[in-house]
Amino acid sequence: MQNKRVITVIPGDGIGPECVGAAMKIIDAAGVNIEWEERHAGERVFKQGIPSGVPADTIESIKKNRVVLKGPLGTPVGFGQKSANVTLRKLFETYANIRPAREFPGVTTPYSGRGIDVVIVRENVEDLYAGIEHMQTPGVAQCLKLISRKGCEKIVRTAFEFARAEGRKSVACATKANIMKMTEGLLKKTFEEIAPEYPDIESWHVIIDNCAHQLVKKPEQYDVIVTTNMNGDIISDLTSGLVGGLGFAPTANLGNDIAIFEAVHGSAPKYAGKDVINPTAVILSAVMMLRHIGEFDAATLIENAVMVTIEEGKAATGDVIGYDKGAKTSEYTQAIIDNLGRKPTQWQAREHQAIQMPNIPENPAFVIPESRRVIGADIFIEWPQNAESLGQSLDSIVEASDFRLKMISNRGTKVYPIGDTQPDCVDHWRCRFVLRDATAGASPEQVMALLAQVATKHQWMHVEKLLEINGEPGYTMAQGED
Residues 129, 229 contacting (CB under 8 angstroms): yes
Residues 101, 426 contacting (CB under 8 angstroms): no
- Checking if the pLDDT of 349 tops 60, the result is yes
- Residue 264 pLDDT class (50, 70, 90 cuts): confident
Domains 1-92+256-348 and 108-243 share a fold: yes
Predicted pLDDT of residue 81: 64
CB-based burial of residue 296 (10 Å sphere; 0-12 exposed, 13-18 middle, 19+ buried)? middle
Query: 70, 90, 150, 176: which one is catalytic?
Result: 176
pLDDT, one tens digit per residue, over 466-477 is 999 999 999 999
Q: At what angle do helices 280-292 and 296-311 cross, to 10 degrees?
A: 160
Predicted pLDDT of residue 1: 46
Residue from 114, 38, 47 nearest 76 by CA: 47
- Considering the four listed CATH numbers 3.40.50.11270, 3.10.450.50, 3.40.718.10, 3.40.470.10, the one that applies to the domain covering 1-92+256-348 is 3.40.718.10
- Checking if the pLDDT of 271 tops 90, the result is no
CA distance 175 to 190: 12
Q: Tell me how crowded residue 160 is: count the other CB atoms within 10 A of its CB.
A: 24
Architecture of domain 108-243: 3-Layer(aba) Sandwich (3.40)
Assign 329 to helix, strand or coil. Answer: helix
- Check if 176 is active-site: yes
Query: 13, 90, 129, 150: which one is catalytic?
Result: 129
pLDDT, one tens digit per residue, over 227-260 is 999 999 999 999 999 999 998 999 999 999 999 9
CA distance 196 to 306: 38
The DSSP bridge pattern shows strands 117-123 and 96-102 to be antiparallel
CA distance 403 to 435: 4
Query: 57, 209, 257, 297: which one is catalytic?
Result: 209
CA distance 253 to 256: 10
Q: Tell me how crowded residue 362 is: count the other CB atoms within 10 A of its CB.
A: 7
Map out the domains of the chain as residue ranges.
Answer: 1-92+256-348, 108-243, 372-473
Predicted pLDDT of residue 388: 95
Q: Tell me how crowded residue 297 is: count the other CB atoms within 10 A of its CB.
A: 11
- Check if 209 is active-site: yes
Q: Tell me how crowded residue 391 is: count the other CB atoms within 10 A of its CB.
A: 20
- Check if 223 is active-site: no
Query: 233, 319, 378, 402: which one is catalytic?
Result: 233
Residues 346, 439 contacting (CB under 8 angstroms): no
- Check if 129 is active-site: yes
- Residue 389 pLDDT class (50, 70, 90 cuts): very high
pLDDT, one tens digit per residue, over 111-160 is 999 999 999 999 999 999 888 999 999 999 999 999 999 999 999 999 99
Predicted pLDDT of residue 252: 97
pTM surpassing 0.75? yes
Predicted pLDDT of residue 317: 65
Side by side, the strands of the sheet bearing 428-435 are 413-416, 403-410, 428-435, 372-382, 459-469, 472-473
DSSP 168: -
Side by side, the strands of the sheet bearing 96-102 are 34-38, 5-10, 67-70, 259-263, 250-254, 96-102, 117-123, 224-227, 170-175, 202-207
pLDDT, one tens digit per residue, over 5-39 is 999 999 999 999 999 999 999 999 999 999 999 99
Predicted pLDDT of residue 50: 86
**pLDDT exceeding 90 applies to what percent of the chain?**
80
Q: Which fold has domain 372-473?
A: Alpha-Beta Plaits (3.30.70)
Q: What average pLDDT does this structure show over 165-190?
A: 97
